[in-house]
Amino acid sequence: MAKGIEIREAHFPGRAPIEAYGNGGFRFAEMSHRGSILCLPSGIYGWSATPEQPFAGDRLELVFKEEIRFLLFGTGKDIRRLPPGLAERMKRAGISCDPMSTGAAVRTFNIMLSEGRPVGAALVAVD
């Protein structure tokens, strides 16, 4: 009996630098993903955030289950401030969270990852 198409949540089980970004997505580990991503020690996850709503999506909860000290928040082309409640939650969790443009976040993430630092990135896709 033929099976239908199996839809799975986007997840790459490992750490990898971001090779490219733009056109609404990212390239990493010789793969590509359309849409926003969370880069965490447990892997790279698809995420529903958009430039209009850069702090949206339940997947952001994964950040608080990881062993990171820094979260680079790429909010799209423009820098957006963290909502006060999210900023406070990051602080309570001991995570330094820096919002910046997605391009700056990608570059900084790649450097910190290569240095072996406890870093994650929440990256909103840009065109």
User: pLDDT-based confidence at 4, cuts 50/70/90?
Assistant: low
Q: Are 99 and 81 in contact (CB under 8 A)?
A: yes
Average pLDDT over residues 89-109: 97
Average pLDDT over residues 14-41: 94
Average pLDDT over residues 26-49: 94
pLDDT-above-70 percentage for the chain: 92
Tell me what pLDDT residue 9 has. Answer: 62
- Burial zone of 83 (CB within 10 Å; 0-12 exposed, 13-18 middle, 19+ buried): exposed
> From the CB of residue 74, how many other CB atoms can be counted at a distance below 10 Å?
31
Average pLDDT over residues 48-60: 91
In the chain the domains, ranked by start, together with CATH numbers, are: 11-123 (3.40.1230.10)
